Amino acid sequence: MVMNIKPFVLLFFLGSVLSAPLFAQQQNTVSVLQPEEVIAFHFTDVQVNFWLSAENYISERMKSGIDIYSDDFYRDATSQEKMWLNSIDAGDSPYNTDYRSRYWGSNWSYASGLIAEKSDTLAYDFNLLTAWHSPTSSNGLGKKITLVFESSGDSEIKTVLFFPGNMRTPVDWQKYGRPAKVALRINGNDIAILHLKDVMACQVFKIPMTASYQENEEITVVFDILSVYPGSEFEETVISEINFDGMDIL
């Protein structure tokens, strides 16, 4: 009887061992997502040069401590300067990706206070003129962008808006590498792999929400670069901006 049981037990054991990796693989399957929407940028050289001039003009004066929003400053400005000021004030710029009021509601105005200092804030500052770059002479493979938020209650990320590449100008966009596939993790949970198209555009991904947040718990969002589209001139990979949409405020 004992001799008859051993082969059965051995076969059962081997079957369990051989099936375990397959079971684990099935359990760890992560969705590969294509963008639900691709919002391409179609700007003329005249528009781009106007916006860059406006950005440089305002940036220089703000660095000098000038209050560009004061009535006196606007009154004394030249007609060209007033055109720049009016343009930026109206949001007429591809470089301001301020989704705070549009997507998250009134509380999103506190986002700058919610994001922790240890975050990669250049990828999350609502400005396409400032971008995250991979280390010099690195194509970015395996590099991570980490955004850490202080929770203001239960929150859910439903959408990721991804701006791959250096979007300052179409020429700059071609020169630098762009991420092709990016793994998304939230609070240590594998959420999805984002498969980006190689186009100069905001790419919108609807996220299958499997991570929950507890009140007063930090929310850690990690983007891990798995593959890249190479640039024509520089090895470094660039991400101009990552924004979010969802439920409640981060």
Mean pLDDT of the chain: 75
Least confident of 23-32, 82-91, 215-224, 226-235: 23-32
Sheet holding 178-186, edge to edge: 31-33, 189-195, 178-186, 219-229, 144-149
What domains, with CATH codes, occur in the chain? 31-42+99-247 (2.60.120.260)
pLDDT at 244: 82
CA angle 186, 190, 192 (to 5 degrees): 95
What percent of the chain lies above the pLDDT cut of 70? 67
Averaged pLDDT, 62-78? 89
Is 247 within 8 Å of 158 (Cβ atoms)? yes
Question: Rounded CA gap, 243 and 111, in Å?
Answer: 11
Give the pLDDT band of residue 170 (cuts 50, 70, 90). confident
pLDDT at 34: 97
φ, ψ for residue 140, nearest 5 deg = 90, -5
pLDDT at 1: 45
- The sign of the CA dihedral 212, 209, 102, 52 is positive
pTM of the predicted model over 0.75: no
Question: Rounded CA gap, 193 and 36, in Å?
Answer: 14
pLDDT at 169: 83
Higher pLDDT, 82 or 28: 82
Q: Residue 139 pLDDT more than 70?
A: yes
Is 248 within 8 Å of 196 (Cβ atoms)? no
